[in-house]
Each structure stands twice: as C-alpha cells, then as structure tokens.
Amino acid sequence: MIRNVDKLLSKAKETKPQLQKKLEDSILQDLLYENFDQNVNMFFYIYENCPDVMFHSFLFFGQQRAIIIYIKGLSDTEAIEHFVLTPSMQRNPDESQTLNEFLESKMPVLNVKKVTTVAHCIESISDGNPLLLYEGEASGYSLGLAKREKRAIEEPVAEGGVRGSREGFTESLEVGISLLRRIIKSPALKMQAMKIGNYTKTNVVLAYVEGIADQTLIDEMMNRLKRIQVDGILESGNIEEMIEDNPYSPFPQIMSTERPDVACSNLLEGRAVILVEGTPFCLIAPISFFSLLQSHEDYYQRFMIGTFIRWLRYLFLGISLLLPSLYVAVLTFHQEMVPPQLLLSMAASRDAVPFPALVEALLMEISFEALREAGVRLPKQIGSAVSIVGALVIGQAAVQAGLVSAPMVIIVAITGIASFMIPRYSAGISIRLLRFPIMLLAATLGLLGIVMGIIAIAIHLCTLRSFGVPYLTPLAPLKGRELKDALWRSPLWMMDTRPHLTGESNLYRQSPGQAPSPKKG
C-alpha cells in the first residue's frame, strides 16, 4: 500500500485557505461533494500530518477513479487487499452491473454501510473501518474491516474468590457485550449505544433488561450520559464522576465491577450497567450502601456461611472506621474505662513515646496508608514484599526508637486487616478517608466526638441518593421484605422478589407460591 494522491490533489478545485474556512464553518456536518477531487482534497487536509492514515488510489473495474482511506494498525490491511482491492480492480464481468450494486451485494465484505456526511466518514475511519470513495458519487462506503488487538479473558484481579466464574471483562467493548449475552440469553436484554468525548469519541453502552428495569431510570441515565460534554473519556471513572448524584460525597453512588456475573445479577434486579470501551470496569446503578458490602461469593456459598461472612464484614467495617479513634479517646480522656492492669501495661509501653496519642495514631496510619498504596503501584513481584516487609520493619523500628508504642502498632495492624474485609475498593477507601476526621474529633472531644462523627455520617448517608434511590435502602426507608438480602443473606428460595425500588415493574423473580421450601420430618 502506498500513498498515491499527488495526481488527485493536482486536480482539486479548492485551495487550502478555502477548505480551511469551510472546516472552521463546521464542514464536518456537511454532505460529501459530488466532485471526487474535492472529497479527496478535503480528507487529505483533514488528516494532514497523520502518517498513519493511508490513502490508496486505484481504478474501479479499470475505469473509474477510486480511493480507499484507512488507519494503519486499526484496519485489516490483508483483508483490504484480498476482499476489496483485488475484486475491485478486475474487469467487470457484468457490464450492466453498477458500482453501487457491486459494493452492496457482490463485494465479499460482511458489513458495508453507505455514508453521506463528512462526520460519518471520519467516524468510520476512526473506528478502523476503511472508507471507500469513487468518482461520480456524492457518498462513500464504510467497509467493516476493523482489526483490534484484544486482551484474553482472564480472572478479575480485584475481585477474586474461592468460588464462582473466573471470567472478567476486558478493554474490548464487544467482548464485554458478548459476556453479558452469554449469561442473559433473552432478547429482553437491551443496549443503547452512544459516543462520548469530543476528541476520543469513546463508545459507551447502557445495558438493561426490558420489563425489569424501570423505564424512568433508563431515561434519566440516558439524559445524564448525553449531557456529558468533555474532550475525552479515558476510563469509566470519568463517567461515574459526571453522572453521580452527589459528587462531593466520599461515598460512591455508583458501583464498579469487572465481573460479568455480578453485572448480570444486578441487571436481573432491575439495575442498569454502563460499559465503556477501553476499560474492564463497568458501572452499575442505582446502588445502596449495603450493595457495596456484598460480595458475589455471598450467593455462591450456602446461606448460613454467606450470612456469617456478611456479619463479619459489618463488624470489621466498624473496626476499620472507629478502632484508632477509640484508642485515642480512651487514652486521652477516658482512662477509667481500661482495666488497671492493662492501663499500666499501656502506660509503660508509652513511657518513652514523646508524642500524644493523636500524633502517634496519625503517624502510624499515614505511614501504613503510604505503604499500602506503594504496594499497589509497584510491580506485582515486589509490591507485596515491600508492603509487608516495610510494615514489619518500620513498625518494629518505630517501637524500638520510641516514636510509637507497641499497642498502637497492633491497633493500626488490626485496622488495616479490617479494611481489607470490605469487598469494594471504592467503599474501603471512603472508610479509610473518614477515619482521620473521626480521630481528630476523638482527640478533642473524646467519646462524645466519636458519637458526633457517627451521627454526622449517618445523617449524610440518609441524604444521599443513587439515581433517586435512597442510599440506605432497605433500612431507611424501612423495607422489611428486603432486609433478607441486606442485614443477612436468606436462602435463595426465600428471595422470591426483586428490590422494591429497582424491580417494581416486575416484582417476582420466582413464581409466587412456587418457590421451594425446606422439607420437614
């Protein structure tokens, strides 16, 4: 393939200043010219200084001038040569057959689409589909010959488990859609596609199950997505930040996952899923606070095990949020709450520490958070070693140097382990962030400050909404029927209804009265 456009450009009727003025006047929305040379000149100017954009000219059936425009690396060059150029450059065996008839019915390319505007032509080229223009027509043809490198389907790194599917989304939008289709085979699974980003033109798909999801929710999500006007979307987090109800809240109002089974389970509960090209993480909305504390394995284990693990998760959520603050409050204001023997031991360990309890706690917590983030950012081979060995070495050295006490190292270690119990990273980092202001309240007001902090967080959670759904549902407002999948995990045969606020249009997931019950006797 060579860039052979010199002869075509020499015949163009428009000068470069004239073309530049038309581009400034939104020529991208105009129709293609009827003059072949003008079309070629326009696209050559649009893709000036783009060496990866290839212009290959040839004669259609040995008679009419034509050109094919494609991006090297995004289009299948071998397919272009074998399925487009080879049959097009041969003599036409049927003289009565027009070029349009040949392109639409005889060319051995599965997806051939006629385009008439400059914007659609650019969109086709950018997607990797070559654009074919020929003399005598004010239109072109988009040839479905895109070729993209795809990562193999692998187990999700951030959401591993003992039991369940090992498949995870990849950066390819087509692969993500196919994974959803493999699980939900019903044609009720609908998808609405759009492009977001003035420059990136990122493909975004909103998926939902028709008849289960509330149409008002789908319309609201589409409106929020269409209102996004930004240069580019590089990850699903960019969309999450722009469509959530309260962007100033530390708590996420949209859940992300890279597991197709998690996405499908939420689709079957009446929620919507947003897939974004270029990232393996999809977005799920609306959600509740309890959704962030649920793991996919809760439903793959027996219900007693799932309930126990869920209660354990709630317990360690409180420990992760409050344990350092309780330690600071007790040492600063409420020493009488500690048994005398334990108080003497703690006093002896803190005898050489020159800092108050608050400074000691902040020093250790910030160091631990830094080590944890360093372990995440470093290569996998050394990341875990740095985080674990660094914590042990620094903790032991700090105790021996008299900077912190041994009980504080234990408190920080237990708090760190507790934070790993939260299954969603976005929820876990929110708890880690709130830990610091609560420590400040504990150091100034003692247990009263901790209680004030908890009340403030509870009030904030009560005011949050996720696409209109109360964040603390089904606890506030109270929905007793739905507590069986929030505070505990009931047997599957008892969870016969979908969540009230997301699946109300199709309430029953099992036929009423047909759900199995445990046998007696």
Same domain, 114 and 239: no
Q: Mean pLDDT, the chain, as a whole number?
A: 84
Residue 108: strand, helix, or coil:
coil
pLDDT tens digits along 503-516? 667 778 776 654 45
Same domain, 307 and 281: no
Q: Is the Cβ–Cβ distance between 118 and 29 less than 8 Å?
A: yes
| Three-class SS of 436-474 | HHHHHHHHHHCHHHHHHHHHHHHHHHHHCEECCEECECC
User: Is 223 a domain residue?
Assistant: yes
CA 417, 418, 421, 422 dihedral sign is: negative
What contacts 24+ positions apart, CB below 8 Å, involve 404-407? Answer: 404/353, 404/355, 404/360, 404/363, 404/364, 405/346, 405/349, 405/350, 405/353, 405/360, 406/349, 407/327, 407/346, 407/349, 407/350
The count of structural domains within the chain is 3
User: Is 333 a domain residue?
Assistant: yes
Same domain, 317 and 199: no
User: Is 503 a domain residue?
Assistant: no
| Cα–Cα distance measured from residue 508 to residue 496, given in angstroms and rounded to the nearest whole number | 6
Higher pLDDT, 92 or 501: 501
Asked if residue 23 has pLDDT above 80, the reply is no
- List 71's β-bridge partners, or say none: 53
Same domain, 364 and 437: yes
Confidence tier at 448 by pLDDT (50, 70, 90)? very high
Same domain, 313 and 280: no
Q: Which of 97-106, 263-272, 328-337 has the lowest mean pLDDT?
A: 97-106
Q: Which of 55-59, 332-336, 479-483, 486-490 has the lowest mean pLDDT?
A: 479-483
Structure tokens belonging to residue 321? 């949020």
Q: Is the Cβ–Cβ distance between 434 and 319 less than 8 Å?
A: no
Same domain, 334 and 466: yes
Same domain, 267 and 229: yes
Same domain, 453 and 316: yes
User: Final residue of a domain: which of 223, 254, 287?
Assistant: 287
- Give me the percent of the chain exceeding a pLDDT of 90: 40
pLDDT of the residue at 298: 86
pLDDT of the residue at 458: 95
pLDDT tens digits along 53-111? 999 998 887 778 899 999 998 998 888 888 888 887 776 656 556 677 777 667 777 78
User: Is 151 a domain residue?
Assistant: no
Q: Which of 212-226, 322-336, 389-403 has the lowest mean pLDDT?
A: 389-403
Domain ranges, residue 229: 173-287
User: Is 296 a domain residue?
Assistant: no
| Three-class SS of 210-225 | CCCCCHHHHHHHHHHH
Q: Round the CA-based radius of gyration of the chain to a whole number and report it.
A: 31
| Cα–Cα distance measured from residue 184 to residue 191, given in angstroms and rounded to the nearest whole number | 12
Q: Which of 123-137, 152-166, 205-219 has the lowest mean pLDDT?
A: 152-166
DSSP strand pairing (202-209 vs 53-60) = unpaired
Residue 326: strand, helix, or coil:
helix
Other CB atoms within 10 A of residue 279 CB: 23
Backbone phi, psi, residue 426, to 5°? -65, -40
**DSSP annotation of 105:** I
- List 472's β-bridge partners, or say none: 476
CA 342 to chain centre: 48
The residue behind tokens 């908890």 is: 454
The DSSP element (H or E) to which 112 belongs, if any, is strand 112-115
Task: Determine whether 485 is exposed, middle or buried from the number of CB atoms within 10 Å of its CB (0-12, 13-18, 19+).
Answer: buried
Higher pLDDT, 106 or 325: 325
Most confident of the following: 316-330, 389-403, 469-483: 316-330
Asked if residue 466 has pLDDT above 90, the reply is yes
- Give me the percent of the chain exceeding a pLDDT of 70: 87
pLDDT tens digits along 284-319? 999 999 999 998 888 888 899 989 999 999 999 999
pLDDT of the residue at 191: 95
User: Is 339 a domain residue?
Assistant: yes
pLDDT tens digits along 235-244? 999 999 999 9
Average pLDDT for 276-289: 94
Same domain, 230 and 92: no
Same domain, 311 and 413: yes
Asked if residue 437 has pLDDT above 90, the reply is yes
Backbone phi, psi, residue 220, to 5°? -65, -40
User: Final residue of a domain: which of 240, 260, 287?
Assistant: 287
| Cα–Cα distance measured from residue 132 to residue 107, given in angstroms and rounded to the nearest whole number | 12
User: Is 317 a domain residue?
Assistant: yes
Same domain, 124 and 71: yes
Same domain, 326 and 414: yes
| Cα–Cα distance measured from residue 475 to residue 28, given in angstroms and rounded to the nearest whole number | 52
CA 2 to chain centre: 40
pLDDT of the residue at 385: 62
Helix (DSSP H) and strand (DSSP E) numbers for the chain:
18, 12
| Cα–Cα distance measured from residue 360 to residue 177, given in angstroms and rounded to the nearest whole number | 50
pLDDT of the residue at 4: 43
User: Final residue of a domain: which of 143, 158, 193?
Assistant: 143
Q: Which of 153-167, 329-343, 367-381, 459-473 has the lowest mean pLDDT?
A: 367-381
Higher pLDDT, 465 or 84: 465
User: Is 509 a domain residue?
Assistant: no
DSSP secondary structure, 195-251, as one string = EE-TTT-EEEEEEEETTTS-HHHHHHHHHHHHT---S---SHHHHHHHHSS-TT-SS
